[in-house]
Structure 1
Amino acid sequence: MQKSRLIPLLIALLPVIVVAIFVGIPALMALAYSLGFIGGPNAAIALLDQHLVTPEQGLTLKVYQDLLRDRSFLQNFWATIWVTIASVALILVVSWGLALYIRFSHGWFPHIISSIYLVPLFIPVVIASYAIVTFWNANGYVSALVARLGMHFPGFGYTLFGVVIGQLWVNLPFAILMIVSGLQAVPDALIEAARDVGAPMSRILLRVILPLNILPTVITGTFTGIGVLGSFTVPYIIGPTAPSLLGVAMASYFQAYNAPQQAIAMAVIVFILAAALGIVYVRANVVSDRKAGTLQ
């Protein structure tokens, strides 16, 4: 009996052990390295670090203090925050608009739209990023088209707004899938009952549809925000040289500046921001379960 219980437990623990060995322990050692611990597994990388910060005794927060006083890092940090907020807001607006159109429209055109929005899933991010730069750049297609009208278009390539457009392209399919699935779960009887009592579509949207789709919206926003915070390809290809997003800045510090300690500290800061979004996601799930009566 004990052996029959032990085998399923070992099978269940196997992925946990793999994650702990290949992710958990390296992450903890990296965190310790950012705090000044240069012994053990961190000894090799400490020999190559040209900007190493070591404490006189114990651990130190000097790496983080220096980053928070660094003007370049602060510009990158606030650029990352701005791009994340703008990307999440734009993605939610566009995904809600398209999801409502797909949900409540009839005919052949909504079916075409419901297929087209999945196209970005099958296009590599690198190719899509180069395509966006070519299309929106100062010398791109839109600029040439506007020039025909005698006007000048500076373009969105190599700008933070260009990064937002790129994030919209990359994250829109997932966002629409989540919102559409939430809208499909709203019973038609509720909508028809609201229409029977004379409620306009705006009131139905605010009082019936939106309250029933708070959780899919929160999931979309939090997952999109976490993805944008740590993104590299889109801001690297489309974004400006300065300020750059933290994903690009981390790679630069690690490879070009040979400062892995500072790069790891940036990664920890990004993790804290992503964890805050994760708390919002978990909180939304707990509230939803309580309202559904599945959690006491």
Structure 2
Amino acid sequence: MKNKTKGLLAAYGMVLPAFLVVMLTVAYPIVSAVIQSFQDEDTGAFTTANYTYFFTETAQRNNLLYTLFVVIVTVVIAIVLAYLLALYLRFVKSGISRAIGMLYLLPRFVPTMCAVYAMITIIRDSGLINRIGLLFGLDIKLGLMYHASGIIVMNMWFNIPFATMMIAAGLGAIPDSIIEASRDSGAGRWKTFTSMILPLSMKDVVVASTFVFMSNVGSFTTPYLMGGNSPKMLGIALYDQFNKYLSYNRSAALSVIMFLICSVSAAVYIYTNLKEKDWEK
């Protein structure tokens, strides 16, 4: 028993520094923000007005709905395209697929600022596409700047490679013997996909979706450079509250709201991992 106790104390002692760092850098700011979000700006008294403001004020409510719209559309399009690309990379053996397999992650290594500015020079009304169109007598104006569609298009640049990487890893873990057994039993390609490949890869699809969702809820650079003045993504709205209006209590409240939105996705992620055996079944 003494040796066991010593072992436990040694294990806890080695974990304690990392635990303290997490508590100081993660837990304490969260608790502090929650407390501040319920305080009045002037008196410091308890109030829920900071939260009420974001759900009753028209512009702030539109910001919330706008963010959810952009994020959900981004998740759906990115995951569908990433899954199709991952399927191609996994099951098509050709020189093109090998080349794509080596190159599709390159957008992840391009700095965000550089990628956004490069996209702006291409899609804006006086950008590259418009100039090429003018050579053929066409005045092509995509209308993507300062619009949700432009933000979504830019989000594809960052999220498709990331989601593809996660889904492709899951598809790569599916043994070829399972697929071959399904085909030998008389199942067609579609039946093999729906009964074998899709269920076995669904866990990775859900996990990729949660990461794409959380990474876009608080996105700043793309909405700041390509988004309009109204409505705004929540990341920009938070920046305005903190820097322009110096409303720190409302900023804390909006931070908590964004955290709660992301926590829904985090709960899905945790549930999916806890139910790993059910996914395998």
Q: Is the 8 A contact 1:53 1:63 kept in 2?
A: no
In the superposition, relative to structure 1, how do residues 186 and 108 fare at CA in structure 2: closer, same or farther (>3 Å)? same
Q: What's the TM-score once normalised by structure 2's chain length?
A: 0.92
Give the one of 45, 57, 60 matched to 1:70: 57
Deviation at 1:25, TM superposition (A): 1.5
Rounded Cα–Cα distance in structure 1 between residues aligned with 2:137 and 2:74: 30
1:113 aligned residue (92, 95, 100): 100
- The unaligned stretches of length 5 or more in structure 2 are none
Which deviates the most, 181-190 or 221-230? 181-190
Could you say which residue in structure 1 is the equivalent of 2:217? 229
Q: Which residue of 1 aligns with 2:152?
A: 164
Offset of residue 97 of structure 1: 1.1
Measure how far apart 1:6 and its partner are: 2.6
User: In the aligned structure 2, how far is the partner of 1:250 from the partner of 1:126?
Assistant: 20
2:16 aligned with 1:16: no
Mapped contact 1:143–1:155 kept (Cα < 8 A): no
Distance 2:126 2:279 in 1: 53
CA distance in 1, matches of 2:276, 2:218: 28
Q: Secondary structure at the match of 2:232?
A: coil
Task: Please give the TM-score of this superposition, normalised by the length of structure 1.
Answer: 0.88
Alignment of 1:250-265 (within 5 A): 250-265=238-253
- Corresponding position of 2:201: 213
Indicate how the Cα distance of structure 1 residues 95 and 250 shifts in structure 2: closer, same or farther if over 3 A, else same: same
List structure 1 runs of 4+ shifted beyond 6 angstroms.
none
| 1:45 counterpart residue number | none
**What percent identity do the matched residue pairs reach?**
30
| Equivalence for 2:35 | 32
Q: Distance in 2 between matches of 1:280 and 1:263?
A: 26
> Offset of 1:242 from its aligned partner?
1.4
Conservation of the 8 A alpha-carbon contact between 1:163 and 1:238: yes
Contact kept, 8 Å, 1:100 with 1:180, in 2: the verdict is yes
1:87 and 1:190 map into 2 onto residues whose CA distance is 32
Q: Does the aligned pair in 1 maintain the 2:129–2:140 contact within 8 Å?
A: no
Tell me the distance in 2 between the aligned counterparts of 1:189 and 1:149.
Answer: 56
Q: Show the 5 A alignment for 1:235-274.
A: 235-274=223-262
Q: Distance in 1 between matches of 2:191 and 2:230?
A: 45
- The alignment yields a C-alpha RMSD, in angstroms, of 1.9
Q: Are 1:277 and 2:260 counterparts?
A: no
Q: What corresponds to 2:167 in structure 1? A: 179
Task: Determine if contact 1:222/1:278 at 8 Å carries over to the other structure.
Answer: yes
Local SS of the residue matching 1:273: helix
- Secondary structure of the 1:155 match is coil
The alpha-carbon deviation at position 26 of structure 1 amounts to 2.3
2:85 is matched by which residue type in structure 1? L
Answer yes or no: is 1:199 the counterpart of 2:187. Answer: yes
Write the distance in 1 (CA, Å) between the matches of 2:267 and 2:26.
21
What secondary structure sits across from 1:210 in the alignment?
Answer: helix
Q: How many residues align?
A: 277
Q: After TM superposition, give the deviation of residue 260 of structure 1 in Å.
A: 1.6
